[in-house]
Structure 1
Amino acid sequence: MRTVVGAAIVVRGRVLAARRTTPAAAAGRWEFPGGKVETGEALAAALVREIGEELGCTIAVEQWLEGAAAIGTTYELRVALTRLVEGEPVPREHDALRWLAPTELDDVDWLAPDRPFLPELRRLL
């Protein structure tokens, strides 16, 4: 399995959700932004790189949330609790961003692999 990393970027008790535009099956649904880990790349380094590319800001990984979620049969998703270090997130590969309070986490249509991380995230927020 290849690893995909996602960032639960937290600012003032709210977490950032990003709305996908592609592929068609995922368009309009929400996720923790991030991407694929390159061969030989550390998970945290991959996540910092992906967020820089996708959102134009810098994050720091605080801790990894428990578990991993399958994305089909080829990938697994790992999600980290992160903090914003520099810049403001700007969607480059998504069509919308939302800052969600713990009580708002169920207000968006999350992609299935992201959903298992919501209970732990809700507790941490």
Structure 2
Amino acid sequence: MVEVLRVVGAVIERDGKFLACRRRPQKAEGGKWEFPGGKVETEEAPEQALMRELAEELDLLDAQILSLVERKTTKSNGTLIDLACYRVKVSHPPRTSTDHDSMRWCTVDQLSTLDWAPADWPIVDSLISALSQSQVPHEESHHADR
């Protein structure tokens, strides 16, 4: 039987940029980028788990969970990872992380340039898709092929 790992992540936006965190080399998927978060414990609601993880990893004690961005299940190293990512509002940006060796604020265009953990790619794709649809189309797209 394949193990299913329930995980939550935070999509934190500030000044039009999104927080991406790189996993420490000694961690699973070390060196890969992800949205901060972690495992959901057995008796925990996803939102509770995310609040706990943000407090533990990033020392964010006043985070507000706004809405679900996307929930996808992906396979990684023989495990199914059920990742739910939520938009999260914070009053101040995190300064350090216990699980990451780098943190970066990225524009939507920069997100796809990072080497994301497999479970996070569907979330990145959803964000890029949603944000590109809400923006004004480029001038070229108005011209019909003749």
Q: Please give the TM-score of this superposition, normalised by the length of structure 1.
A: 0.87
Query: 4+ residue runs of structure 1 moved beyond 6 angstroms?
Result: none
1:13-66 Cα deviation digits (max 9, x unpaired): 111011011456612110011111112211111101101100111321111123
Q: Please provide the CA RMSD for this pair.
A: 2.0
Answer yes or no: is the 8 Å Cα contact 2:7–2:84 preserved in 1: yes
Query: Would you say 1:4 and 2:2 are equivalent positions?
Result: no
Query: Would you say 1:115 and 2:121 are equivalent positions?
Result: yes
Q: CA deviation at 1:119?
A: 2.6
* In 1: Cα distance, 2:14 partner to 2:93 partner: 12
* In 1: Cα distance, 2:117 partner to 2:104 partner: 15
Unpaired runs of at least 5, structure 1: none
Larger radius of gyration: 2
Q: CA deviation at 1:120?
A: 2.3
Letter in 1 for 2:74: A
* In 1: Cα distance, 2:5 partner to 2:99 partner: 21
Q: Please give the TM-score of this superposition, normalised by the length of structure 2.
A: 0.75
Classify 1:60/1:71 alpha carbon distance in 2 versus 1 (closer, same or farther; 3 Å).
farther
Classify 1:38/1:25 alpha carbon distance in 2 versus 1 (closer, same or farther; 3 Å).
closer
| Bigger relative CO (Cα 8 Å, ≥ 6 apart) | 1
Answer yes or no: is the 8 Å Cα contact 1:30–1:110 preserved in 2: yes
SS in 2 for 1:95: strand
SS in 1 for 2:119: helix
Unpaired runs of at least 5, structure 2: 133-146
Q: CA deviation at 1:98?
A: 0.3
Answer yes or no: is the 8 Å Cα contact 2:68–2:87 preserved in 1: yes
Structure 2 counterpart of 1:51, from 51, 54, 78: 54
Specify the alignment match of 1:38 in structure 2: 41
